[in-house]
Structures are given as structure tokens and as C-alpha cells.
Amino acid sequence: MKNVSLYQNRPVRLWDFLNEFERAFDTASGTREFSQTPFSPAVDIDEGEDHYLISVDLPGVKEKDIKVDVHLGQLTISGTRSSESKKERGPGQFYERSFGSFRRSFSLPQEVDGDEIQAHFENGVLEVSVPKAKKAKAKSVKIETGKGGLFSRLLGEKKEDSKEH
């Protein structure tokens, strides 16, 4: 899809590598503690003939915690995934699930109909349908002749030949 670009709110890839390395080291040494890692949901974008479909994986997120906004050609999906509080934390526990706020933004192409965007959430998947605007059809314009031109009619002036005799 050439016209839809994705702005990811994620750390730089080198940072991801360093986090993975630290996590592997902590896991091997048994010192890994529970922490809130950034939550960035996976997104799929498909372009159809008359729409774009954006699917966002949001397991564990409640519908009330999701927000979809469209403003100035930008579609933003944001929300939070709450952490489960665990009272028992021992050396044999390891958590990879991430929690916290997320925000994904997409630049919309000019040919979309922003007023007709729809969202549906079911089984942890948010689907956002972004319809393309209907293309204007070319048409021929009839050319009229005679006195009392277009501007006269628009301004409400009467034609000379329509006066009563």
C-alpha cells in the first residue's frame, strides 16, 4: 500500500536488540524481575478496491480502553492494557507480557472518506474500515446562449424579453 504510512511509536531497533540481550541474560541468571515493557500492538493493513482495512491485535485490552480518532488526515488508535497484579513473585516466575499505553498513527491518503470510517472490536482484534472516496465522474456541461447570461440569473436580474407587454 503506497499511500498509507505507519508511524511506529517504538524504540530504535538497536534498543530492542539490547533489551532482548538483557532479558536473555537476566533469564539465564535468574534475576529477571517483573517490569512494564512498552506495549506496541501488531497491525495489518490491507487495501481493497474501495477501502483500506486496518486490523490491530489487542489481546487483553477492553473495548472501553480503546480510542480511534481521525484528525487532519491522521488516523490514531490508542489505549491501555492494564497489568494483572500478582502478589506472589518468586525466583521461578518470568513475565513476558507487556502492559501500558499504546498509540499507533497512520497518515491517510487524500482519497479516503473520513466521515465514513467504521471500527469493530471482537475477540481481541480491532478492525478499522477506511472507505475510499467515490471518484467524481466526468460530465458534459450544456452551453447556453442568449441574453441574460449566467451572472444575471445568479444575481436575480430579469431578462429583457421576460417583461410583460
The predicted structure's pLDDT at residue 111: 87
Residue 111 lies in domain: 5-156
pTM for the full model? 0.58
pLDDT in tens, 39-77: 789 999 999 989 999 999 999 899 999 999 999 989 999
Contact 79, 65 (CB under 8 A): yes
pLDDT for the residue 119: 96
Q: Is 104 a member of any domain?
A: yes
Longest alpha-carbon distance in the chain: 107
pLDDT value at residue 27: 57
HEC readout, the chain: CCCCEEECCCCCHHHHHHHHHHHHHHHHHCCCCCCCCCCCCCEEEEECCCEEEEEEECCCCCHHHEEEEEECCEEEEEEEECCCCCCCCCCCCCCCCCCEEEEEEEECCCCECHHHCEEEEECCEEEEEEEECCCCCCCCCCCCCCCCCHHHHHCCCCCHHHCCC
Residue 6 has pLDDT above 60, yes or no: no
The pLDDT, as a whole number, for residue 31 is 47
CA atoms within 13 A on the CB side of 38: 14
163 is a domain residue:
no
Phi, psi of 65 (to 5 degrees): -100, 10
pLDDT confidence of 158, banded at 50, 70, 90?
low
Higher local confidence (pLDDT), 113 or 89:
113
Kindly state the cell numbers that stand for 154.
Answer: 445568479
**Cβ-defined contacts of 107-110 (< 8 Å, 24+):** 107/4, 107/5, 107/7, 107/73, 107/74, 108/4, 108/70, 108/73, 108/74, 108/75, 109/3, 109/4, 110/73
**Residues 123-152, mean pLDDT to the nearest whole number:** 81
Split into its structural domains, the chain has a count of: 1
Q: Can you give the CATH number for the domain in which 94 is found?
A: 2.60.40.790
Highest mean pLDDT among 30-44, 61-75, 79-93, 126-140: 61-75
Answer yes or no: is 108 within a domain: yes
Residue 96 lies in a domain: yes
The per-residue pLDDT for range 13-22, each reduced to its tens digit, is 555 556 666 6
Q: What is the mean pLDDT of the chain?
A: 75
* 64 in a structural domain: yes
Q: Is residue 165 part of a domain?
A: no
- Given pLDDT bands bounded at 50, 70 and 90, which one contains residue 157? low
Whether residue 162 is contained in a domain is answered as no
